[in-house]
């Protein structure tokens, strides 16, 4: 350990740009065993490890880095899976620069330990050797329903099954995984990694009901009578519009409509998707979802792809590495522009009218406001406009039927035990936080499962 002067920080290699534009396969390669070992060997084994605090799951990072560096892959695998329901997935998609790696003591000078890449590698190498996450053989007589198969639902199911509690998962889509399956594109997360985790839950005894929407195909009353507790992990997928004139044009779409259509086509060969080949695509928004839209558009063969964002590059909310990847792939950025209207003819958008903006001086909290420069209008031509302006919870009717209270923006209210106002129902993930991260959804699922276990056993 402590070999951070011997080995410099290395990021996983990326596939060549021209190759990666031809498909939706993952951009980053998984570290070879020796590379993961060397990179783990850089860890200083801090007495009070900040990386552990920076990780929302509180993963035992220095412990599994040490076991990786000292060539104890079985122990590294066990430690990594102890606190995380799907470490190989989070190693791929967490914004590590603001989480574990951002908090690493080496981040200030020598370069943080490449924690995410090592986490993915140690797990993938273990799977290659036939290792699997462990579930208990002892089964209790308790039964929990999990609504939604996204990261919060998968996490809740994992930790419940580990304690021998029977789980039935209900998912309205035709495949499990939530946004891991039909949101995050394959170039960031290979879908087989999601299927693999779901299959292990099925092997551990979980029953999965696909194409089953709670409130429509199965009622709240049925859940209440059949199960000892219910975990609600229904996400927050309702896209926000810019609320400007012309956005009802037929070629203006919400980000999820675009991304989900492409991913369903990629997996099921269904033809129902938004075709942007040879078109000028304009994506409005500057977060991770916008990056996924622009990067999907270049893979679809769009004529030009532009990302419009109302702040400057330094204030972009998404992961910095994804912005770099998008630039490499040919995406153009227009910073400091705010959409005023969609220019359309006969119900079809031909461009976006924009206003230039300036950033104010930072206030006491350091936040800079967006100032619209009146009279600075100009038009950016577009054949397809995609709105990637964040998400809100959907607030389905079954919540009220179950007496589950929501707050002013539609988020499910919970107490410190993850219980909703109906104490048989627990909730977590985006449906209670608002659109957030896979890792925080995983935390909620794990913590809610612990509370359910305490209440039932």
Ligand X SMILES: Cc1cc2nc3c(=O)[nH]c(=O)nc-3n(C[C@H](O)[C@H](O)[C@H](O)COP(=O)(O)OP(=O)(O)OC[C@H]3O[C@@H](n4cnc5c(N)ncnc54)[C@H](O)[C@@H]3O)c2cc1C
Query: Site for ligand X (CB under 6 A): which residue of 80, 120, 149, 263?
Result: 149
Torsion sign (Cα): 29, 179, 87, 294: positive
The residue count for binding ligand X (CB under 6 A) is 38
Decide if residue 399 touches ligand X (CB under 6 A). no
Closest CB to ligand SF4 among residues 65, 402: 65
**With CB cut-offs between 5 and 8 Å by kind, which of ligand X, ligand SF4, none does residue 288 bind?**
ligand X
Stretch that binds ligand SF4, among 54-62, 160-168, 192-200, 382-390 (CB under 6 A): 54-62
Joined tokens for residue 338: 């705010």
Query: Least distance to ligand SF4 from the beta carbon of 442, Å?
Result: 7
CA distances from 19 to 201, 351, 439 (A): 34, 31, 30
Three-class SS of residue 130? coil
Decide if residue 61 touches ligand SF4 (CB under 6 A). yes
Residue 84 in contact with residue 72, Cβ under 8 Å?
A: no
Decide if residue 406 touches ligand X (CB under 6 A). no
Decide if residue 150 touches ligand X (CB under 6 A). yes
Query: Least distance to ligand X from the beta carbon of 183, Å?
Result: 4
Angle formed by the axes of helices 288-299 and 255-268, nearest 10° = 50
Stretch that binds ligand SF4, among 92-100, 193-201, 332-340, 380-388 (CB under 6 A): 92-100
Cβ contacts of 324 within 8 Å, gap of 6 or more = none
Cβ contacts of 230 within 8 Å, gap of 6 or more = 144, 145, 146, 147, 223, 224, 424, 425, 426
CA distance 41 to 72: 13
Decide if residue 36 touches ligand X (CB under 6 A). no
Decide if residue 429 touches ligand SF4 (CB under 6 A). no
Decide if residue 76 touches ligand SF4 (CB under 6 A). no
Decide if residue 414 touches ligand X (CB under 6 A). no
How many Å is the maximal CA-CA distance in the chain?
70
List b or e across 122-151, with b for residues whose CB sees 16 or more CB atoms inside 10 angstroms: bbbbbeeeeeebebeeeeeebbbbbbbbbb
Query: Site for ligand SF4 (CB under 6 A): which residue of 68, 96, 114, 357?
Result: 96
Query: Site for ligand SF4 (CB under 6 A): which residue of 90, 194, 323, 449?
Result: 90
Stretch that binds ligand SF4, among 28-36, 91-99, 188-196, 318-326 (CB under 6 A): 91-99
| Mode of pairing for the β-strands spanning 304-308 and 332-334 | parallel
* DSSP letter, residue 425: E
Gyration radius (Cα) of the chain, Å:
23
Taking CB under 6 A as the rule, which mask of x and - marks residues 178-207 in contact with ligand X? xx---xx---x-------------------
- Write out the residues near ligand SF4 by the rule CB under 6 A: 55, 57, 59, 61, 84, 90-91, 94, 96, 99-100, 115-116, 119, 439
- Write out the residues near ligand X by the rule CB under 6 A: 93-94, 147-153, 170-173, 178-179, 183-184, 188, 213-215, 233-235, 237, 259, 288-289, 292, 396, 429-431, 436-439, 441
């Amino acid at each position: 350990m402590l070999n951070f002067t011997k080995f410099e920080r290395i990021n996983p290699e990326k596939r060549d740009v021209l190759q990666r534009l031809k498909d939706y396969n993952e951009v980053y390669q998984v570290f070879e065993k020796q590379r993961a070992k060397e990179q783990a060997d850089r860890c200083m084994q801090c007495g009070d490890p900040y990386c552990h605090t920076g990780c929302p799951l509180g993963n035992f990072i220095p412990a599994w880095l040490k076991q990786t560096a000292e060539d104890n892959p079985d122990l590294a695998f066990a430690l990594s899976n102890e606190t995380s329901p799907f470490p190989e997935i989070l190693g791929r998609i967490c914004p590590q620069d603001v989480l574990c790696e951002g908090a690493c003591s080496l981040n200030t000078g020598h370069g943080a330990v490449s924690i995410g890449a090592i986490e993915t590698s140690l797990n993938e190498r273990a799977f290659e050797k036939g290792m699997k996450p462990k579930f208990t053989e002892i089964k209790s007589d308790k039964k929990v329903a999990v609504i939604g198969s996204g990261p919060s639902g998968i996490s809740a199911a994992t930790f419940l099954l580990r304690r021998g509690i029977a789980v039935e998962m209900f998912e309205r889509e035709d495949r499990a995984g939530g946004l891991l399956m039909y949101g995050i594109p394959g170039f960031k997360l290979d879908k087989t990694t999601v299927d693999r985790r779901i299959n292990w839950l099925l092997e551990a005894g979980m029953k999965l009901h696909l194409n089953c929407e709670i409130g429509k195909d199965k009622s709240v009353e049925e859940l209440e009578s059949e199960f000892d507790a219910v975990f609600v992990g229904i996400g927050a997928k309702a896209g926000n519009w810019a609320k400007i004139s012309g956005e009802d044009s037929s070629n203006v779409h919400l980000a999820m409509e675009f991304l989900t259509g492409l991913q369903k086509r990629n997996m099921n060969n269904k033809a129902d998707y938004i075709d942007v080949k040879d078109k000028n695509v304009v994506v409005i928004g500057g977060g991770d979802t916008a990056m996924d839209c622009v990067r999907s558009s270049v893979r679809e063969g769009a004529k030009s792809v532009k990302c419009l964002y109302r702040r400057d590059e330094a204030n972009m909310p998404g992961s910095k590495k994804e912005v770099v990847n998008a630039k490499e792939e040919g995406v153009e950025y227009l910073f400091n522009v705010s959409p005023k209207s969609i220019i359309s003819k006969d119900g079809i958008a031909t461009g976006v009218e924009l206003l230039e903006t300036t950033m104010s001086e930072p206030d006491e909290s350091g936040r800079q406001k967006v100032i619209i420069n009146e009279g600075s209008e100009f038009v950016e031509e577009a054949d397809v406009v995609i709105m990637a302006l964040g998400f809100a919870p959907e607030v389905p009717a079954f919540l009220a039927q179950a007496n589950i209270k929501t707050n002013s923006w539609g988020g499910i209210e919970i107490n410190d035990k993850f219980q909703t106002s109906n104490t048989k129902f627990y909730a977590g993930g985006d449906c209670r936080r608002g659109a957030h991260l896979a890792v925080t959804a995983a935390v909620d699922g794990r913590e809610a499962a612990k509370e359910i276990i305490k209440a039932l056993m």
